[in-house]
Amino acid sequence: MGRLKTKDKTSAIMPLPLQIFIGLEIAAVIVAAFLYVPPARGFADKESARIIIFHVPCAMIATLAYAISTIYAIAYLIRGNTASDMKSAASASLGFLFTALATVTGMIFAKMEWGMAWNWDPREVSILMLMIVYAAYFALRGSILNSAARAKISSVYNIMAGLLMPFFIFVLPRLVPGLHPSNTLTSRSGLSPEYRIALGGAMLGYMMLYIWILRLSVRISEHAMLRRRKSIER
Amino acid sequence: MVGIRITDLTHEFDDRLVFDSLNIAFDGSCLAITGRNGSGKSTLLRILAGLLTPTSGDAAVMIDGFAVPRDLLHNFIGLAAPDVRLYSELSARENLQFLLKTRALKSTSEHVEQVLCEVGLGKRGDDPISELSSGLRQRAALAVALVHEPRVLLLDEPSSNLDEAGIEMVREVIGKYSAAGMVIIATNDPAEAALAETRFDVGGA
Amino acid sequence: MSVVHRASASREQITSRSGLIGYISAVIAVLVKDSRCELRSKQSISAVLLFAVTSTVAVSFTLGAQGQSSAIASTLLWVVIYFSAMAGLSRSFVHEVETYTAPLLKLAAKPNSVYLGKLAFNFLTLIALDIVTVPLFIILMGCGISKPGLFIALLLLGSLALSAGATMAAAMVSRASSKGALFAAISFPLLVPALGLAISGTNIAMGGDAVLTAANCLHLLAYYCGVVITASLMLFRFVWED
């Protein structure tokens, strides 16, 4: 096989010191969530709040990832370069992962704190809609064989779903009768400062992890495309 | 003055290279594009017609020295190809009238009648396409390519399915349109290719 | 070999219609063509109506005799309309691609004329569906309409909203391989806001209570239609053109 090209070494995708830092930092956050952070006051199940340290950053990165995939979708439609489409799809798949994680951690928290895994709370509704949009996006992508058509059509779908986000976040939740206002996480102000530190740490760690995996996955797509081009030339 | 300029045209269809760096500059009246099956003749016509965006390179129709932008090609190009079919529930006449309206063109019924007669559909113009034989459908497809009087006529294997009278009709149409504008024929048939003054061979992939 | 040279047939016989009039006549031409083809083949309208009538009967069979709350009735009505739309509206594009008539349309019409014409066709199909299904539903379910004006307004706006989202989704799915199930799957996220608003508003029109007021529902539905149609007009050509 020969030596790896310079830009394929993992150090080009993320510098080695940073890789080590990310690994240690996330490990530290996990340890802190269980050992450093005290049980939360003002929660029915005092231990349940620990999962918020992971849940909130996941949800935020999920939304960020979707926004980034939509921006790249717009860039693809304007410029037509496949790199933008690759980044859009890569960010979308990461976003899907983080959305799933946010949903599961949210359901665990809800079960521990309020006894029911699903409550039709506004935020739960929004995150569910985001999951459904992602699922439909990938179903669409998977079913179009021509690569140019796939890129264009999934970008259009991405943008249209993105335009409807205000409906998912503000309108849809309000249509559901019988909201439980106490479920919304305003109680975060009742959390001790250790929670803030841990939350910030998780946010930083996940953000860097997102960037790292995104760059890796784009590089892998580039490779797949290069290999296909070589087989065409033959 | 009608011309086509094809510069460095490369097209890949997913995993297959259809053609690579084609260059054609043609200002005459009739061009035949020949080549083996699968060599990309139909694809080239589609790219010229604006139906496909090539992977790289440029294919432009030049009218009086200006390249026609893709969204204005509707009224300058007519394409008749085996995989472009008419609406089978409508008659040939209705198809023609529809396609004139979508181009924002207004025409008299005499004009539509005349085009139908020209391709030999004078008597069957009001029967649904689904009731026509393949030869008659071929004639109807030709009518559809002609009805808006395009400057460039793109024909993909125009004589296939036709009887002798039909082949003669195609010859007349090509003669008439190459005098008025340009005709490009994609064909494997030597007799058809001989109708053109110039031949370009796309070869095999 | 002699070339028969005929004078180019009277250019005077073909004239072009100017700007907006030409555009509108193209849109109407697409609508008329789709309607004519549909009336002659009756394929999608029969699928849509059959589905709507059978599901209405199925729903009211078990629930109708007991007199249901407005919340349930309004939800069921729109679910029936929604799934009937899923059964029939994709044909507007899928049929063109399957019968190879799509290139003809691409050669002869501007993309937005195609979109608007097919949007109009799908909207009329849904209205026809409403005319048949809604009275049947009301009779079989025994539900009362306390605000008929609001009810009809919601039917109209809701049908427009459903057809706007579904037309775009149909265009997207026409390029894909597994068209049937995929159409419903990708339409759902796009149509959910419209569906929710229509159900809420209809609930109010049937005498129930909802979190949003009726005026809000109508405004938001109109806003939804505006967003989807405008976005579709800007994005359609990326889906339609190769």
pLDDT band with cut points at 50, 70 and 90 for residue A180 = very low
Contact A163 C231 (CB under 8 A): yes
Give A152's contacts in chain C (Cβ within 8 Å).
Answer: 238-239
Kindly calculate the radius of gyration of chain B based on its CA atoms and give it in whole angstroms. Answer: 17
Kindly tell me the sign of the dihedral angle through the C-alpha atoms of A27, A29, A30, A34. positive
Query: What is the ipTM, given to two decimal places?
Result: 0.90
pLDDT in tens, A47-78: 777 888 888 899 999 999 999 999 999 999 99
Q: Which of residues 2-41 of B touch C (CB under 8 A)?
A: none
For chain C, give the DSSP string. -PPP--PPP-GGGEEEPPHHHHHHHHHHHHHHHHHHHHHHH-HHHHHHHHHHHHHHHHHHHHHGGG---HHHHHHHHHHHHHHHHHHHTTHHHHHHHHTT-HHHHHHHS-HHHHHHHHHHHHHHHHHHHHHHHHHHHHHHHT---S-HHHHHHHHHHHHHHHHHHHHHHHHHHTTSSSHHHHHHHHHHHHHHHHHHHHHHHHHHHTT---SS-HHHHHHHHHHHHHHHHHHHHHHHHHHH--
Residues in chain B within 8 Å Cβ distance of A232: 12, 15-17
Residue in chain B nearest C26 by alpha carbon: B102
Residue of B nearest to C38 (CA): B89
Min distance A93 CA to chain B CA atoms (Å): 23
Q: What is the pLDDT of residues C145-173, one digit of tens each?
A: 888 899 999 999 999 999 999 999 999 99
Contact: B71, C110; criterion CB under 8 Å:
yes
What number of CA atoms fall less than 13 Å from residue C78's CA on the CB side?
A: 28
Least confident of A205-209, C11-15, C132-136: C11-15
CB nearest to B16's CB, from A145, A147, A232: A232
Please provide the DSSP assignment of C141-206 as one string.
HT---S-HHHHHHHHHHHHHHHHHHHHHHHHHHTTSSSHHHHHHHHHHHHHHHHHHHHHHHHHHHT
d(CA B54, CA B20): 11
Chain A environment of B16 (Cβ under 8 Å) = 232
Cβ separation C178–A140 shorter than 8 A: no
> What pTM does this model have?
0.90
- The subunits that touch chain B, with at least 3 C-beta pairs less than 8 Å apart, are A, C
What is the spatial distance between Cα C30 and Cα B77, in angstroms, rounded to a whole number? 20
| Partners of residue A145 in chain B, C-beta under 8 Å | 14
> β-pairing, B30-34 with B182-186?
parallel
**Token pair of A132, please?**
């459904």
Q: What is the mean pLDDT of residues A202-208?
A: 91
Mutation to test the C interface, candidates B12, B30, B102, B167, most C Cβ within 10 Å: B102
Strands B152-156 and B182-186: parallel
- Which amino acid belongs to residue A178? G
The model's pLDDT over C34-76, given as tens digits with 9 standing for 90+, comes to 999 999 988 888 888 999 999 999 988 877 766 678 888 899 9
Chain B residues within 8 A of A228 when measuring between CB atoms: 15
- Phi, psi for A162 (deg, rounded to 5): -60, -40
Q: Which residue has the tokens 């209205």?
A: C127
Question: What single-letter amino acid sits at B68?
Answer: V
Q: What is the pLDDT of residues A83-140, one digit of tens each?
A: 999 999 999 999 999 999 999 998 888 888 778 888 777 778 888 888 999 999 999 9
Cα gap A106→A112, rounded to integer Å: 10
Sign of CA dihedral B148, B154, B159, B164: positive
Band of residue B155 on the pLDDT scale cut at 50, 70, 90: very high
Closest CA to C183 of C63, C97, C72, C54: C97
Pick the closest to residue B147 from B178, B109, B185 (CA basis): B109
Residue C234 above 90 pLDDT? yes
pLDDT score of C171: 94
Q: How many CB pairs under 8 A join B and C?
A: 117
Structure tokens at B169: 């009709």
Residue count of chain C: 242
Q: How far is C193 from chain A (nearest CA, A)?
A: 6
